[in-house]
Amino acid sequence: MMMMKPQLQKPPSSSARSSPLLPLKSGSSAILSSPSFVNILPARGHTKHHLSKKYNRIRASGEVKAATATTTGLDQKDTAVTVKAVVTVQETAANILSTLSLTAPLDTLTDFAGKTFLLELVSAQLDHKTGLEKETIKGYAHKVNQKETIVTYESVLTIPAGFGDIGAVQVENEHHKEAYIKSIEITGFPNGTSVSVPCNSWTHSKYDNKQKRIFFTNKSYLPSETPSGIKRLREEELQLLRGNGEGERKTSERIYDYDTYNDLGDPDSKDELTRPVLGDKDHPYPRRCRTGRPRTKKDPLSEERSSNVYVPRDEAFSELKQLTFSAKTLKSVLHALLPQLEITLVDPELGFPYFTAIDSLFNEGVTLPKPTTSGFFQSIIPRLVKAISDGQDDLLLFETPEILDRDKFSWFKDEEFSRQTLAGLNPYSIELVTEWPLKSKLDPEIYGPAESLITTELVEKEIRGFMTVNEALKRKKLFILDYHDLLMPYVNKVREVEGTTLYGSRTLFFLTENGTLRPVAIELTRPPIGDKPQWKEVFTPTWDATGCWLWRLAKAHVCAHDSGYHQLVIHWLRTHCCTEPYIIAANRQLSAMHPIYRLLHPHFRYTMEINALARESLINAGGAIETCFSPAKYSIELSSAAYDQLWRFDMEALPADLIRRGMAVEDPTAEHGVKLTIEDYPFANDGLILWDAIKEWVGDYVNHYYPDPTLVESDNELQAWWTEVRTKGHADKKDEPWWPVLKTPEDLIHTLTTIIWVTAGHHAAVNFGQYMYAGYFPNRPTIARSNMPTEDPNDDLFKIFLKKPEAALLRCFPSQIQATKVMALLDVLSNHSPDEEYIGGNVESSWAENPVIKAAFERFSGNLKKLEGIIDERNTNMKLKNRVGAGVVPYELLKPFSESGVTGKGVPNSISI
How many degrees, rounded to 5, is the angle at CA 64 between CA 235 and CA 752? Answer: 55
3-state helix, strand, coil in the chain (%, to 5): 40, 15, 45
The length of the chain in residues reads 913
Strand-pairing partners, residue 524, are 505, 537
CB 137 within 8 A of CB 160: yes
778 alpha-carbon distance from chain centroid: 28
CA 88, CA 186: separation in Å to the nearest integer?
A: 11
Please give the DSSP secondary-structure letter assigned to residue 304.
P
Alpha helices (H) along 324-448? 325-332, 338-344, 355-363, 376-380, 402-406, 414-423, 444-447
Active site residue 514: no
CA 490, CA 503: separation in Å to the nearest integer?
A: 9
Exactly one of 767, 831, 863, 882 is catalytic; name it: 767
158 alpha-carbon distance from chain centroid: 44
Strand ranges across the sheet with 431-432: 431-432, 478-482, 504-511, 517-526, 535-539
CA 60, CA 125: separation in Å to the nearest integer?
A: 12
Exactly one of 175, 557, 576, 603 is catalytic; name it: 576
Q: Is 354 helix (H, G, I), strand (E, B) or coil?
A: coil
CA 718, CA 600: separation in Å to the nearest integer?
A: 12
Count CB neighbours of 545 within 10 A: 10
CA 703, 705, 711, 714 torsion-angle sign: negative
Angle between helix 682-705 and 414-423 (nearest 10): 0
Active site residue 913: yes
Report residue 580: phi and psi, to 5°. -55, -40
Exactly one of 566, 571, 601, 762 is catalytic; name it: 571
Count CB neighbours of 604 within 10 A: 25
Active site residue 200: no
Angstrom distances, CA of residue 39 to CA of 124, 165, 880: 12, 10, 51
CA 479, 483, 488, 494 torsion-angle sign: negative
Active site residue 594: no
Q: What is the DSSP string of 733-763?
A: GTT-TTS----SHHHHHHHHHHHHHIIIIIH
Active site residue 576: yes
Q: Cβ contacts of residue 644 below 8 Å, gap of 6+?
A: 283, 284, 732
Angstrom distances, CA of residue 811 to CA of 544, 557, 660, 778, 804: 22, 12, 38, 12, 11
Count CB neighbours of 348 within 10 A: 13
Query: b or e along 609-630 (b: 16 or more beta carbons within 10 Å of the residue's beta carbon)?
Result: bbbbbbbbbbbbbbbbbbbbbb
Exactly one of 763, 779, 853, 863 is catalytic; name it: 763
Report residue 217: phi and psi, to 5°. -65, 165
The identity of residue 299, as a single letter, is D
Q: What is the number of H-type helices and E-type strands within the chain? A: 33, 23
Question: Would you please indicate which residues are annotated as catalytic (active-site) residues?
Answer: 571, 576, 763, 767, 913
